[in-house]
Amino acid sequence: MNTYSNISGELRAFFSTNKFFRILLPIDMVLLFAGLVILILGSIFSINFGAIISSLAYWAFILGLLLTYANMKEQFLYIGLLGYGAMCVLSLIITLFRYGHYFSWGSLFSALIFGGLGYLVLKRTLTGSSNTNVNG
């Protein structure tokens, strides 16, 4: 096993021992995609959900990412990461052209970080998660 899988296994073991996270482990994708949809609706389509709902959606998305990684569902993990990165790029473009050429460094850094992590997970998934050593 490589480090990527080891960390996922340890994270799952930790979440399995905690009563609160044990309940949330089966609904990892619900948290991930529900949070992402609310964030996209608020950021791209300018729907105002209020500060509490927006904050809960962001932290549900982050918790969904962690739970998805713990459950080793790589396909949904890179979809969530790349989706959030794309949302940040679109948000950057919208603020650049709509609001008087305002440049958002936060959106740029978020796009680079989440998009980069999504690319790394996608690359790992496409190369195959079971890399076997031929030489022994």
The answer to whether residue 76 is domain-embedded is yes
The answer to whether residue 135 is domain-embedded is no
Torsion of CA 89, 93, 95, 98, to 10 degrees: -150
Instruction: Give the per-residue pLDDT at 128.
Output: 78
If one counts the domains in the chain, the total is 1
Buried b (16+ CB within 10 A) or exposed e, 58-95: bebbebbbbbbbbbebbebbbbbbbbbbbbbbebbebb
Domain membership of residue 118 as a residue range: 3-127
Q: What is the pLDDT of residues 27-44, one digit of tens each?
A: 999 999 999 999 999 999
CA-CA-CA-CA torsion sign (114, 118, 119, 120): positive
Instruction: Give the per-residue pLDDT at 131.
Output: 54
Predicted TM-score of the model (pTM): 0.88
The answer to whether residue 116 is domain-embedded is yes
Asked if residues 41 and 47 have their Cβ atoms less than 8 Å apart, the reply is yes
Instruction: Give the per-residue pLDDT at 129.
Output: 54
The answer to whether residue 36 is domain-embedded is yes
Which residue numbers in the chain have pLDDT < 50? Answer: 132-136
Instruction: Give the per-residue pLDDT at 57.
Output: 97
The answer to whether residue 134 is domain-embedded is no
CA angle 9, 7, 89 (to 5 degrees): 115
